[in-house]
Amino acid sequence: MLMLVDCSNCRTPLQLPPGAAAIRCAVCKSITRVGDPRPNPPAPPPANRPAASSLNGHYYPPPAAPPQYYGYAPRPGPPAPTAHHRKKAVIVGVSYRYSRHELKGTINDAKCMKYLLINRFKFPESSILMLTEEEVDPYKIPTIHNIRMAMFWLVQGCQPGDSLVFHYSGHGSQMRNYTGDEVDGFDETLCPLDFETRGMIVDDEINAAIVRPLPSGVKLHGIIDSCHSGTMLDLPFLCRMDRTGRYVWEDHRPRTGTWKGTSGGEVISFSGCDDDQTSADTSALAKVTSTGAMTFSFIQAVERGQVSNPTYGSILNAMRSTIRNADDEIGGGVVTTLVTMLLTGGSAGIGKRQEPQLSANEPFDVYAKPFSL
């Protein structure tokens, strides 16, 4: 069984492999030895990379309700200094290179999202953690362990006024739910690079890691470009919108009494499709290069919005129109050019069309609430 220990320098929880006497932190690179209470000095950063502490300016203790990773909870650190209006993002792009699951557009999605956050929404580059197969740092490869640690880093020490973003482009799947907390009877899952040997990340874990810990005054946006992604953050409410733009909020709160909301913060998620749909990895939209249809349509809606002050409703409608129009022009090509989702055994050309979704921890007027990151 894997053992969880705190980094002796920054207090990030680390999964210690069986029999290991020491482990290097994925965030600050310092080495923690099991049973050694003495703190270790942080490792010097490589010459071509900023110091690890510049990723978020300071190291902070876990939030008041730290995420539970299947029974493990990180120990609280020292009191956090006051900090407000920080922007932090985790961007994950998984291409599954050289495998039967390979996707062509996910790393392009990650790069485009990073560019958007830096240039449009003024996120400091040092506060964006990129996980792709192109990264040289082994702790930034999108494995299940690294994605889990990145999610913890994203919410660690968040303060009122902070704006957080979690973007994922890669495969998504479903598995049967046996706890009764899913309306449709299925859990949604993200598929890390090593999912075939290490398993998938279930929506319950994502919710526990980055949704439930959020305190009042903190805002998180999920942008999930994968198959079966409608409720990937397991949020309590889903905006069910028809083609005319009329909508109702569906109540997805579990009947089992499990709380899937926040600790007072705000979470809003855009996703590539409904839970029973697949998402496209295609060159039909960008023409020149492959992209995820959802990521492309989201960036288009934000950058070229039909309105000067976009709302969540106008962005969702613009995303759906972009995909629907391209799909109509090429006779369903956006869907049929999808790399077939081998995980579920389904065919990309069969089933419902891809329709981006919006979910949230609390209902709101989607045409009145301004969009902001």
- The residues, any chain, with a CB within 8 Å of residue 23's CB and separated by 6 or more, are 5, 14, 15, 16, 17, 31, 32
**Distances in Å between the alpha carbon of 135 and those of 112, 128, 131, 132, 182?**
16, 13, 7, 6, 36
Active-site annotation holder among 167, 171, 221, 228: 171
**Distances in Å between the alpha carbon of 174 and those of 61, 74, 211, 295?**
33, 28, 20, 21
DSSP assignment string, 49-103: S--GGGGTSS--PPPSSPPPBTTB-PPP-SPPPP--S-EEEEEEE---TTSTT--
Active-site annotation holder among 7, 191, 227, 273: 227
Residue with tokens 């009764």: 180
Torsion of CA 97, 149, 130, 274, to 10 degrees: 70
The secondary structure of 88-117, three-state, reads EEEEEECCCCCCCCCCCCHHHHHHHHHHHH
Instruction: Give catalytic status of residue 227 as yes or no.
Output: yes
Q: Hey, is 368 helix, strand or coil?
A: coil
Instruction: Give catalytic status of residue 101 as yes or no.
Output: no
Give the phi and the psi of residue 188 in degrees, each rounded to 5.
-95, 150
Q: Which residues are catalytic?
A: 171, 227
